[in-house]
Every structure is written in C-alpha cells, then in structure tokens.
C-alpha cells in the first residue's frame, strides 16, 4: 500500500498564523482541507501530520476524511514532521508526500505519482511541461531509513539528491505542483 502523507505541521509564520485554515476567495474550504481532499482522492488514503495544539486543523482534516497524527516533532520542522509520518506508517510499501499549503494539486497528479511507486519506482516526482519538479514526491519503502532519520526544517531534498539515480520523473499537466501558499497575497491566487 502506498501511504498518502499530508504534511500539515507548520506554524504559518510568514502567513501570520493559521494558514491552513484560511480560505481563498474562490473556494470556502480551508486550504489544508483542499490539499487533504485532493490527496485522498488521488492516493485513496491520507495521514495528515499536524503539530501539537493545532486542534482546529486536526478536526477539520478528520472531517475531510484524513487520518491525523498529532506530533510534537512538527515543532522541529518539515523534516521532523515527515519522519514522524513515515515512522507512524512503517508498514507502507511507499509514501506519497504532499504539502498542506499546496491546495491546487490535482487528484490525477497524486494518482500518477502513486502509480509510479506501485510499478516499482523507488523515487518519483511530479514534473510540469517546462521540466520544473514539484509535489507530490513518492518514496518507496527502500527509503524508510533515510526518511525516518530526517529532522529539523530540511525536508527530503537531501534524500532525493542522494538517490537521484532512482528518480522517476512523472510528467503532468498540473500547474498546482509548484504553487504553494506562503503569504496572504498568495491566498488571493489560491
């Protein structure tokens, strides 16, 4: 089974807080919920990793159908959040990693990257028509140790670089793979 992991443990400091509960002018659903729904629709499952104390977000993601892992590790950064999610789902055949501040990724994109893992890719990433790599990124169980060892605010970029020879590029027609929301100004476009 490929496990969908939604990393939702950030504090949203550049946004001014509670970023993942904010709604865009075009969609009343919170951006974290939109990202969770897309992952669920594409991967068939989603484990959202949420920081301790973020009760409203955890509840919203549960209501959207995600399983939720509340982890104190999120306070240490993205890498620690990813490691917590991987460790909590160590029986998976692989992980499809999505970020909760990227609400525009299409379910078909999640399906395509998950399908690459199911076909045997050890590492797979969505790439747009111009060749830009984005999210989601898929990791096979062969990379469990590398992912479980992550800590701090560095995500899996180093894991991808170390295993670049394994990377399978999944070409998608989805501008959402490179669009994230960091500031209130980004929300107007989201």
User: Model confidence at 167, in pLDDT bands (50, 70, 90)?
Assistant: very high
Each residue's pLDDT tens digit, 10-66: 988 888 888 999 998 888 999 999 999 999 999 999 999 999 999 999 999 999 999
Which helix (H) or strand (E) segment is 6 a member of?
strand 2-8
Percent of the chain predicted with pLDDT > 90: 86
Query: How far does Cα 56 stand from its chain's mean position?
Result: 19
176 CB burial (10 A radius; 0-12, 13-18, 19+): buried
- 2-11+23-189 has which CATH code? 3.90.550.10
pLDDT of residue 11: 84
pLDDT of residue 48: 98
Domain boundaries, the chain: 2-11+23-189
Q: Which alpha helices (H) appear in the chain, and where do they start and end?
A: 31-43, 55-63, 78-88, 107-118, 144-148, 157-162, 184-189
pLDDT of residue 16: 80
The residue count for the chain: 190
User: Model confidence at 190, in pLDDT bands (50, 70, 90)?
Assistant: low
pLDDT of residue 154: 84
Each residue's pLDDT tens digit, 88-139: 999 999 999 999 999 999 999 999 999 999 999 999 999 999 999 999 999 9
Pairing relationship of beta strands 2-8 and 94-99 according to DSSP bridges: parallel
Report yes or no: 33 and 64 within 8 Å, Cβ to Cβ: yes
């Amino acid at each position: 089974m490929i496990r969908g992991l939604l990393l939702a443990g950030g504090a949203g400091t550049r946004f001014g807080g509670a970023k993942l509960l904010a709604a865009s002018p075009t969609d009343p659903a919170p951006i974290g919920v939109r990202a969770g729904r897309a992952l669920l629709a594409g991967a068939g499952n989603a484990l959202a990793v949420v920081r301790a104390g973020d009760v409203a977000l955890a509840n919203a993601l549960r209501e959207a159908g995600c399983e939720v892992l509340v982890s104190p590790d999120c306070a240490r950064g993205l890498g620690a959040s990813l490691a917590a999610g991987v460790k909590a789902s160590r029986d998976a055949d692989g992980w499809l990693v999505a970020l909760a501040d990227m609400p525009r990724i299409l379910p078909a994109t999640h399906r395509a990257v998950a399908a690459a893992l199911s076909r045997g890719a050890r590492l797979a990433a969505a790439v747009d028509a111009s060749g830009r790599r984005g999210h989601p990124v898929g990791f096979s169980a062969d990379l469990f140790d590398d992912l479980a060892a992550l800590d701090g605010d560095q995500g899996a970029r180093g894991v991808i670089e170390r295993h670049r020879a394994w990377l399978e590029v999944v070409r998608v027609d989805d501008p959402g793979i490179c669009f994230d929301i960091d500031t209130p100004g980004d929300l107007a476009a989201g």
